[in-house]
Amino acid sequence: MLNRFQGWRERGWSVVDASTYSDAWQRWGGSVATHPLVVERLADLAGIPVRYLAWEQGGELQAAIPTWGRDLALSKDVLKRHGKKGLFDLGNAELILPAAPDAQAVLRHRARYLSALNEGRFTGLKLQTEQLAMARTPEELSKKFRYNQRRELRLLEEAGGVVRPVSEFSSGELAAIYCDLFQRRWGFPATGAARMSEVLELLHELLIGSVIFLNDAPIAIQLVYRVQAPQWISVEYINGGVDPETREFSPGSVLSFLNTQSAWEQARALDKPLRFSFGRADREYKDRWCNPVPVFTV
């Protein structure tokens, strides 16, 4: 029975290797959660093999996807079914799958938060009720808002605050800072806390952003991954932690400002659009930074 379902799901698709998938991603692009390195390393950590599939037309590769059974690879549901719930945290990441713009590949594997960029590339997508929060351009933030952010940064620096890039820290240091500040901010452990150091080591080259210190103690950090596709830059802000006792300085807000502005600068220097996702559009603070965008499900 299972094989019959698999046959239906994979009709029109053929099994390929990881390097074919990687070639497709480098050619047509994707997002953080579909990046070949992210898929390969996190699937390896989970011990769940990836089945890569390709869609061809007239002997030409048109699309490729990484799968775990009936779901796309790295699915939270599959982790849960394997008793590995919360092994790693990619939030509710935007999914962009590598495909030619008019491939019309039939997608039958389960997935959520599929970007609108997949339209035309794939068929079988259904609009989902939830939306993703995508960072606005600096020009879309009001002058007053930007002035206030810079003022908060100045006040923080005058009080002895220091901003340091994540590149200055080891994976172990970043994991310790993040897990500590997350726990203090929310009162419960971060998703994937037990293996956080390992995950950050696996994805270290994709980490961007800064850590804010006050009196030599870290007070704000965000987990942000960045990948570069041929036509755009994809950035995924997973989650953050702040020291609630430093709330008067709004360090979380200051960090969002610094991390988004820096990402925009880099993207514009490369003359590429930026897709900076804050995950699901489900919190009021995201409304200040982001525009809600539609996403799809299968």
- In this structure, what CATH number is given to the domain that contains residue 169? 3.40.630.30
Q: Which of 91, 114, 130 is the last residue of a domain?
A: 130
Tell me the C-alpha distance between 208 and 205, whole Å. Answer: 8
* Chain position carrying tokens 């150091």: 197
**Per-residue model confidence (pLDDT) at position 77:** 96
Q: Which of 91, 107, 130 is the last residue of a domain?
A: 130
Residues of the chain with pLDDT under 70: 1-2
Q: Are residues 165 and 187 in the same domain?
A: yes
**Per-residue model confidence (pLDDT) at position 2:** 52
Q: Are residues 143 and 286 in the same domain?
A: yes
Q: Are residues 209 and 164 in the same domain?
A: yes
What is the domain extent for residue 33? 2-130
Q: Give the global pTM.
A: 0.96
**Per-residue model confidence (pLDDT) at position 211:** 98
Q: Are residues 203 and 258 in the same domain?
A: yes
Closest CA to 224 of 297, 161, 165, 285: 165
**Per-residue model confidence (pLDDT) at position 184:** 96
CB atoms within 10 A of CB 55: 24
**Per-residue model confidence (pLDDT) at position 215:** 93
Buried b / exposed e over 85-114, threshold 16 CB at 10 Å, is: eebbbbbbbbbbbbbbeebbbbbbbbbbbb
Q: Which residues pair with 56 in a beta bridge?
A: 61
**Per-residue model confidence (pLDDT) at position 9:** 82
- How far does the chain reach from its first CA to its final CA, in angstroms? 21
Closest CA to 166 of 177, 151, 157: 177
Q: Between β-strands 122-123 and 105-106, what pairing exists: parallel, antiparallel or unpaired? A: parallel
**Per-residue model confidence (pLDDT) at position 91:** 95
Q: Which of 99, 130, 161 is the last residue of a domain?
A: 130
Q: How many domains does the chain have?
A: 2
